[in-house]
Structure 1
């Protein structure tokens, strides 16, 4: 069984190294393809010294998560692997992570996608994995549960799926690439499951991408349309692709409205919804 792990990183050397250590402790022969998207904290140099077997791909500093993962995957598929493992570099894997992923994969007859449940380091809260059709975060259960909206923190994808739907869509810059891939799989009759239990610990990124407070109108739209925001053009593409042109138009107008309105009015109408938590 040949597995290629795919990661992208930028300026969080210690977290990246901890993630790699947790992986190699469990799967010492795993082939790793890591995109370093212009780190200035000596991430690449340290990884070369500590884990010389890692395939490091230099980014241009403008890839971010989705395009970084696309770049890593594009290189990895040259190796004809049986499985591709997405890893966020800010997670630490549990010793049983691969066993759990493979058991859930077998549940789907090796023709599905499995997204691992991720909890906080205190083991008190599920952070990621996936959500159901009502966007409710899925919790641990005795059997794998179907996901509608997939998180890309730890995901196992068999070659079967890649042969059928390809790799991550390079249109996506940072956000939505994982959700899009899961929806594309479902639309091609490929099931997406969660694991039955958490398989890694990670950090919660609970900030709002689509609106910033206490800024000028110009700064607000600049942030919205930046890679770490929620660009209107990419949202339009995503929603048209999966939910139709009307949905895409309506949501684009909605993005404009909530960014045009002043803070006080947005707070009055939507409360804490668009504030960083």
Structure 2
């Protein structure tokens, strides 16, 4: 960026439900992490019974609160936030999970990293923030690469080798405005999870390079409860697994497998449920 140019305008996208105090604390952290940047937060309150939206409105003038229906979940809420933010024509979008505690100055550092990659590779760059556990320091979320094997749908956390990545978790991600035309926004095919992984794969297909920051940008514990909820299939939880947004809804998994699984997509589709049933 040349000195004569105004700083880029950043739209921070988030969706929240029922953890008001966490959301408020993390918004304070975001202020510290984004000092010196021209940003606005677009936050979907998905009908939180705790009054999160009203509490945010009272304390954070830089946040546009959007009232959700209560049935948006993460992916639907991010679609809603993104759709609203597009109206203000920002230069970049920053995805943010409200349980992520950004380190002071980390968002500015993310954008410095992003601009460096733009200078090296051009405008088709997406930056993924590396996130760690607050107690152990182990990496919990970030960019991902394909795991070894025949399946195209097995991923693992990316190594620190500076190479482009296959896809990403959506905890902290910088997406340039051009991506809306080239890729779109979060897919309507998913309610809660998978939308971030889907977007990373679509970005690669559209010619974008995904890079993970070398430094940790903040802390979030690994959501083990969510993973355990998707790990076992039996008669008692079959409706949850096949139909609930926090399970593995069969229509969503079918769409994902057919879109990205290659010739082995039927094997991928069936294997996940068989593995859960045998666990």
Give the TM-score normalised by the residue count of structure 2.
Answer: 0.85
Q: 1:157 and 2:175 equivalent?
A: yes
Residue 249 of structure 1 corresponds to: 266
Residue 3 of structure 2: aligned partner: none
Paired residues of 1:15 and 1:91 also in contact (CA < 8 A): no
* Number of the residue aligned with 1:271: none
- 1:114-263 alignment, distance < 5 Å: 114-122=127-135, 124-134=137-147, 135-140=155-160, 144-206=162-224, 207-212=227-232, 217-244=235-262, 246-258=263-275, 261=277
* Residues 75-111 of structure 1 deviation map (CA, whole Å, 9 limit, x = unaligned): 1011111000000000111123123322321233142
Alignment of 1:37-186 (within 5 A): 37-109=46-118, 110-122=123-135, 124-134=137-147, 135-140=155-160, 144-186=162-204
Distance in 2 (alpha carbons) for counterparts of 1:35 and 1:201: 22
Local SS of the residue matching 1:118: strand
Give the secondary-structure state (helix, strand or coil) at the position aligned to 2:192: coil
* Aligned counterpart, 2:4: none
Return structure 1 stretches of 4+ with deviation > 6 angstroms.
Answer: none
The 8 Å contact of residues 17 and 48 in structure 2, kept in 1 or not, is answered as yes
Provide the rounded CA distance (Å) in 1 between the counterparts of 2:25 and 2:188: 28
Q: Confirm or deny: 8 A CA contact 1:211 1:224 kept in the other structure.
A: no
Shift of 1:44: 1.1
| 1:9 alignment partner, one of 13, 16, 28 | 16
Deviations 1:123-169 (A, max 9, x none): 5211110221212312446xx43221311000001112222111111
Encode CA deviations 1:46-76: one digit per residue, 9 max, x unaligned. 1111113311111111111111100100110
TM-score by length of 1: 0.86
Q: Where in structure 1 are there 5+ consecutive unaligned residues?
A: 268-277
Q: Is the CA contact (8 Å cut-off) linking 2:145 and 2:167 kept in structure 1?
A: yes
Residues in 2 aligned to 1:256 and 1:101: alpha-carbon distance in whole angstroms: 38
Q: Secondary structure at the match of 2:253?
A: helix
CA distance in 2, matches of 1:152, 1:224: 23
Query: In structure 1, how many angstroms separate the alpha carbons of the residues matched to 2:109 and 2:62?
Result: 25
How far apart are the structure 1 equivalents of 2:221 and 2:68? 24
Query: CA–CA distance in 1 between the matches of 2:193 and 2:29?
Result: 25
Q: 1:96 to 1:62 in 2, by over 3 A?
A: same
Question: Paired residues, what number?
Answer: 257
Measure, in 2, the Cα distance between the counterparts of 1:166 and 1:112.
Answer: 15
Contact 2:230–2:246 (8 Å) recurs in 1: no
